[in-house]
Amino acid sequence: MTAKFPGPISPTSTPTIGGLYAEQFMPAGTPKGAVVITHGYAEHCGRYRELAHVIVDAGWVALAYDVRGHGKSPGVRGFIDRFDAYLEDLTQVHKAAKALIPAGAPLVLLGHSHGSLITLRALADERPIACTSAIVSSPYLGLKLAVPGYKKLLARAASRIAPKLAQPNSLRVEHLTSDKQKQEERTADKLCFDIATSRWFTESSAAQDYVAQHASRIAVPTTWLVGGADPIADPARSKEVAAKVPNAKYHDLVGLKHEVFNETTRDQVFAEVTKVLASA
């Protein structure tokens, strides 16, 4: 039997938050809480409308946004001068999400891949962002995808003298998901891109090191949804870092690739999200 998936939902509104494009999804009645969605590298928040449907059906607000340098938000594609800018943007979206729910209602951070790195970096900070819990899928804490050594050396050197230098990122749609329809959608999506800039590479690498070194600071409950067959973000590195987090629940999603929310068995992954919200 073919699994029945919720399908995408249209945003209730598309506000601009701190100069960034966002998509807001409101449930019927008083919301139980809010989920802030931070998407992955080289994509955009519009790819999370099916996940937003799951969140809204659970009675929660879903607030997704295009990370700086992505989608319909401003900035050079795939470029960031300093990683802290991502954290500052997340803080702005977090503030907007809190304004959409009753005082004291729970707020959950949800990130995918590079969005998970942003989320975990914010939670491991000396002054962590406030939330009830967090969900991280396929966190970009270490690269499993083989990248030639010369590209890494070039990116590190160029980060100082040509920070916006772009190189192909070597991502292939079959690395993302086993779902053929989702592969076709990703290929046709003109808001996605296929480059990585040198400064982004060095800044994200430093953020990965920071999270690994300070993972024990993460105090809120975290749920890790990690594709066991992910050829992009290293599952072994995710498991290693999650073991340092005091209240982490790690799910090894055997056979799933990088985009667990777009996989052929995503109904099972959505069910884990619903469980987190039910217990928040």
pLDDT score for 2: 46
pLDDT at 74 over 80: yes
pLDDT at 151 over 80: no
Q: What is the mean pLDDT of residues 86-90?
A: 98
Answer yes or no: is 245 within a domain: yes
Answer yes or no: is 72 within a domain: yes
Answer yes or no: is 49 within a domain: yes
Residue range(s) defining the domain that contains residue 110: 16-144+203-279
Band of pLDDT at residue 164, cut at 50, 70 and 90: confident
Tokens representing 142 are 């270490």
Answer yes or no: is 264 within a domain: yes
pLDDT at 274 over 60: yes
As a whole number of angstroms, the distance between CA 12 and CA 36 comes to 15
Answer yes or no: is 188 within a domain: no
Answer yes or no: is 42 within a domain: yes
DSSP, residue by residue, the chain: -PPPP------SB--EETTEEEEEE--SSS-S-EEEEE--TT--GGGGHHHHHHHHHTT-EEEEEPPTTSTTSSSSTT--S-THHHHHHHHHHHHHHHTTS-TT--EEEEEETHHHHHHHHHHSSSSPPP-SEEEEES--SSB-S---HHHHHHHHHHHHH-TT-EEE----HHHH-S-HHHHHHHHH-TT---EEEHHHHHHHHHHHHHHHHHGGG--S-EEEEEETT-SSB-HHHHHHHHTTSTTEEEEEETT--S-GGGSTTHHHHHHHHHHHHHH-
pLDDT at 53 over 60: yes
pLDDT score for 210: 98
Answer yes or no: is 83 within a domain: yes
Q: How many CB atoms lie within 10 A of CB 101?
A: 18
CATH number of the structural domain spanning residue 230: 3.40.50.1820
Q: What percent of the chain has pLDDT over 90?
A: 88
Contact, 131 vs 107, CB < 8 A?
yes
pLDDT, tens digit, 9 for 90 and up, residues 199-222 = 999 999 999 999 999 999 999 999
Owner of token pair 């809010």 = 34
| Average pLDDT over the chain, rounded to an integer | 93
pLDDT score for 1: 36
Structural domains counted in the chain: 1
Q: How far lies 32's CA from each of 28, 77, 134, in Å?
A: 10, 35, 16
Q: What is the mean pLDDT of residues 221-231?
A: 97
**Residue among 54, 84, 80 at smallest CA distance from 69:** 80
Q: Which amino acid is present at 145?
A: L
Q: What percent of the chain has pLDDT over 70?
A: 92
Choose the weakest-confidence range: 39-48, 59-68, 153-162, 207-216.
Answer: 153-162
Which one has a higher pLDDT value, 200 or 171? 200
Answer yes or no: is 157 within a domain: no
Choose the weakest-confidence range: 2-6, 14-18, 25-29.
Answer: 2-6
pLDDT score for 158: 57
Q: Which amino acid is present at 151?
A: K
Check: pTM over 0.85? Answer yes or no: yes
